[in-house]
C-alpha cells in the first residue's frame, strides 16, 4: 500500500492519494480544486486513478472531486446520507456510486470500510483502511472532519454558516454518538484527518499531521466526556466565526462545482483601464505585504497579503459578483493569489497591475494613500481614537482592551456604517495582520483617519495593561451600538 498526504497550507487542508502498488490502482480522497497535483502525483508513480471520493460536502474550499473523476475517468464515490437537504445534486451522474454505512470497496488489495459518522455534517463518511497484503487488521482511518488531532469537527457550521436553523444541537448529539461508535476500533488505528492547525472547521486542531485512535482516546477532550449534554455544551462553546464564504462553498459543492478556470495570461492594466475597472465596481486587491501596502497604495484598494490566511479573507471580504483586479510587485505573488482565489471559487480575476501602475497613479493624482502605524502606548496616552478590535468573538470574550468596540473583520465592511466618520480610529487584532486588512477595508469605505496598532492585543497584554473578559457592553464600555449586526456570526 502507498499513502501520500497532500497538504495545502493556505487551506490547512489534507488530501490523500492511496494506492495498491501491486495492481497500480489508486484513489484520491478529499481533493481540492487544483486537480493537476493529483493527476501529476499518480503519473509520477505510474498509478491509475480508479476512484475519487470525499468524506463530506466541504465548506471551506471548492471540491475537486467531481472534476478530477471526470478528467481521469475514475468512479466518483459519494455519501448517500445527509437527508433531503444535503444530497449531492449530481448523485445520478453516470460515473457516481453512492456509499452507505457498512459498505465496502477495494482499491487493488487495499480495502475501505465505510462508516457514516454524522455530526460535523449530516452526510459525513469516514473510511477505515486495511492493507490486505499485510494484515486483515485495519491500518488507519480517513477521518475527514470527524476526528482531528486533538479536536473533533464542529457541528455548528450548517446553522451558523448555511442558516440551517436548529441543526447544531442535533448534529452535536450525532457527533457524540459517532465518537462513541468508534469503540470497536483498535487503539493502534492511525487517524488521517482532513484538516490541520489553522482550519476553521474546528476550534483547537493540533499541528501534527496524524495521530492514532488510542492517543486521541487519551488526550482529545471529546473522548473524555461520557455525558451527552456536557459534550454538547462544550463542543458548541467557543467556536470561531465561520468565514462568510462557507455558505457559498456548501451550496456549490452540494450542487456541483464548475470546472476551474484556465490559468491563462491576463492583461496588465494602465491607469485609464484601472479607472474604468474601478468605475465598473471591480474589486481591486493589493496582495503585497502589510508593510508595503501601508507605505503607499492606490486609493480604494483592499490589502489581503498572500499567505496562509489569504483564502479565508478573500472568500469573506471580496464580493463574488464582481470582477477582481490583482495588484502586486512580483509574478510569484500574482500566481499564488490567483490559485488561492480559484480554490475558494473566485473565478472572475480579469486583470493585473504592479509598481508601474502605482507610479502612473502618483504622476496623475498625487501621493499614494498610507496607513498610519501606532503602538499600544498610543492607546494609553490618548483618548482621541476609537479603539476597534477586529478579532473573533471567542478571542474578544477571552480578553480585550477596556472601552474597545468589537467588530469582527469578516463583518467589517457591513458594520462600518455604524462607525463615526469624524473620530480617529485605531484598529487592532492579536498581532497586526488582520487589523491591517481592516484598515484597508475602512479606507476603501471612505474613512480618512485610520491607524493600525502594531503588535495588537498581544503587545497590550504583554505590557501588563488592564484586560476585560466577557461580552457585556455595559461592563466593557463598548462605545458604538450595532443595530445592523447580523443575528448570526460568520
**Nearest alpha-carbon partner for 352 in 295, 304, 286:** 286
C-alpha cell of residue 16: 490523500
Q: Give the C-alpha separation, 391 to 431, whole Å.
A: 10
Q: Are 216 and 190 in contact (CB under 8 A)?
A: no
Give the residue from 112, 117, 122 showing the smallest Cα distance to 164: 122
Q: Are 346 and 314 in contact (CB under 8 A)?
A: yes
As a whole number of angstroms, the distance between CA 388 and CA 60 comes to 27
Q: What contacts 24+ positions apart, CB below 8 Å, involve 86-92?
A: 86/57, 86/121, 86/122, 86/123, 86/254, 87/123, 87/254, 88/57, 88/254, 88/256, 89/254, 89/255, 89/256, 90/66, 90/255, 90/256
Active site residues: 429
- Report whether 122 contacts 86 (CB < 8 A): yes
Give one DSSP letter per residue of 1-32, joined into a string. -EEEEEEETTTTEEEEEEE-TTT-EEEEES-B
165: which 3 cell numbers? 436553523
**What residues are paired with 354 via a beta bridge?**
none
Q: How many CA atoms lie within 13 A of 306 on its CB side?
A: 19
Amino acid at each position: 500500500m502507498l499513502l501520500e498526504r497532500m497538504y495545502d497550507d493556505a487551506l490547512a487542508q489534507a488530501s490523500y492519494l492511496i494506492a495498491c502498488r501491486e495492481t497500480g490502482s489508486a484513489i484520491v480522497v478529499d481533493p481540492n480544486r487544483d486537480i493537476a497535483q493529483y493527476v501529476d502525483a499518480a503519473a509520477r508513480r505510474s498509478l491509475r486513478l480508479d476512484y475519487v471520493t470525499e468524506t463530506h460536502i466541504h465548506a471551506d474550499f471548492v471540491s475537486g472531486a467531481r472534476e478530477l473523476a471526470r478528467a481521469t475517468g475514475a468512479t466518483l464515490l459519494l455519501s448517500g446520507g445527509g437527508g433531503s437537504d444535503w444530497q449531492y445534486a449530481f448523485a445520478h451522474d453516470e460515473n457516481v456510486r453512492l456509499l452507505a454505512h457498512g459498505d465496502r470497496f477495494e482499491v487493488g488489495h487495499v480495502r475501505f470500510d465505510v462508516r457514516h459518522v454524522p455530526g460535523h455534517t449530516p452526510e459525513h463518511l469516514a473510511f477505515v483502511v486495511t492493507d490486505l497484503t499485510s494484515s486483515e487488521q485495519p491500518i488507519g482511518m480517513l477521518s475527514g472532519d470527524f476526528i482531528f488531532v486533538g479536536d473533533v469537527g464542529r457541528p455548528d457550521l450548517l446553522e451558523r454558516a448555511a442558516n440551517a436553523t436548529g441543526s447544531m444541537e442535533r448534529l452535536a448529539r450525532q457527533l457524540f454518538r459517532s465518537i462513541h461508535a468508534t469503540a470497536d476500533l483498535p487503539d493502534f488505528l492511525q487517524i488521517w484527518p482532513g484538516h490541520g492547525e489553522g482550519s476553521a472547521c474546528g476550534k483547537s486542531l493540533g499541528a501534527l499531521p496524524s495521530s492514532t485512535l488510542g492517543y486521541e482516546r487519551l488526550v482529545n477532550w471529546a473522548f473524555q466526556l461520557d455525558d451527552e449534554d456536557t459534550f454538547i455544551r462544550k463542543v458548541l462553546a467557543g467556536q470561531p466565526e465561520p468565514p462568510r464564504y462557507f455558505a457559498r462553498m456548501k451550496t456549490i459543492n452540494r450542487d456541483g462545482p464548475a470546472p476551474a478556470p484556465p490559468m491563462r495570461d491576463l492583461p496588465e492594466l494602465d491607469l485609464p483601464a484601472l479607472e474604468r475597472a474601478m468605475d465598473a465596481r471591480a474589486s481591486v486587491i493589493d496582495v503585497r505585504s502589510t508593510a508595503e501596502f501601508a507605505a503607499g497604495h492606490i486609493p480604494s484598494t483592499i490589502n489581503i497579503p498572500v499567505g496562509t490566511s489569504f483564502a479565508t479573507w478573500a472568500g469573506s471580504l471580496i464580493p463574488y459578483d464582481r470582477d477582481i483586479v490583482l495588484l502586486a510587485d512580483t509574478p510569484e505573488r500574482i500566481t499564488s493569489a490567483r490559485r488561492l482565489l480559484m480554490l475558494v471559487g473566485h473565478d472572475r480575476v480579469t486583470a493585473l497591475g504592479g509598481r508601474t501602475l502605482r507610479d502612473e497613479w502618483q504622476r496623475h493624482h498625487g501621493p499614494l494613500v498610507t496607513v498610519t502605524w501606532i503602538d499600544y502606548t498610543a492607546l494609553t496616552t490618548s483618548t482621541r481614537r476609537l479603539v476597534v478590535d477586529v478579532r473573533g468573538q471567542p478571542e474578544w470574550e477571552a480578553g480585550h482592551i477596556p472601552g474597545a468596540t468589537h467588530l469582527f473583520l469578516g463583518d467589517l465592511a457591513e458594520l462600518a456604517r455604524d462607525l463615526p466618520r469624524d473620530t480617529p480610529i485605531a484598529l487592532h487584532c492579536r498581532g497586526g495582520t488582520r487589523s491591517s486588512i481592516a484598515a484597508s477595508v475602512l479606507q476603501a469605505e471612505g474613512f480618512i483617519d485610520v491607524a493600525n496598532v502594531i503588535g495588537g492585543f498581544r503587545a497590550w497584554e504583554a505590557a501588563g495593561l488592564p484586560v476585560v473578559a466577557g461580552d457585556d457592553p455595559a461592563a466593557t464600555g463598548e462605545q458604538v451600538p450595532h443595530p445592523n449586526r447580523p443575528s448570526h456570526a460568520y
